């Protein structure tokens, strides 16, 4: 069921927390990697506000729960030379 078919679904159902990112991973490389399982509405690598360095985790938001399921079914992922672990946001 898509987001448009079920507006009462909590947003976290479409969101994944991605941990153990490389310090070289960018918002763009995270998005490019994650788009192989569906359409994203957002992707972000979290950064230290002072140094702007990666905090080695990020979030991606898909448009449907099925896309999240597809990404979860092929864990772990390899991105920028690192094995990363997607987890559902709760």
Give pLDDT, residue 22.
Answer: 97
**Amino acid 90: pLDDT:** 86
pLDDT 10s per residue in the chain (90 long)?
444 455 567 777 999 999 999 999 999 999 999 999 999 999 999 999 999 999 999 999 999 999 999 999 999 999 999 999 999 998
CATH topology of domain 11-88: Alpha-Beta Plaits (3.30.70)
Instruction: Report domain extents, the chain.
Output: 11-88
Q: What is the pLDDT of residue 10?
A: 77
Cα torsion for 84, 52, 27, 10, to the nearest 10°? Answer: 80
Cβ atoms of 54 and 23 within 8 Å: the answer is yes
Per-residue model confidence (pLDDT) at position 1 = 46
Q: Is this prediction's pTM over 0.85?
A: yes
């Amino acid at each position: 069921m898509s987001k448009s078919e079920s507006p009462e679904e909590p947003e976290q159902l479409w969101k994944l927390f991605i941990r153990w990112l490389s310090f070289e991973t960018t918002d763009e490389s995270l998005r490019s990697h994650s788009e192989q399982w569906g359409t994203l509405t957002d992707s972000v690598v979290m950064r230290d506000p002072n140094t702007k360095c990666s905090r080695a985790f990020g979030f991606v938001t898909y448009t449907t729960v099925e896309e999240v399921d597809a990404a979860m079914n092929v864990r772990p992922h390899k991105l920028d030379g690192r094995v990363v672990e997607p987890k559902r946001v709760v």
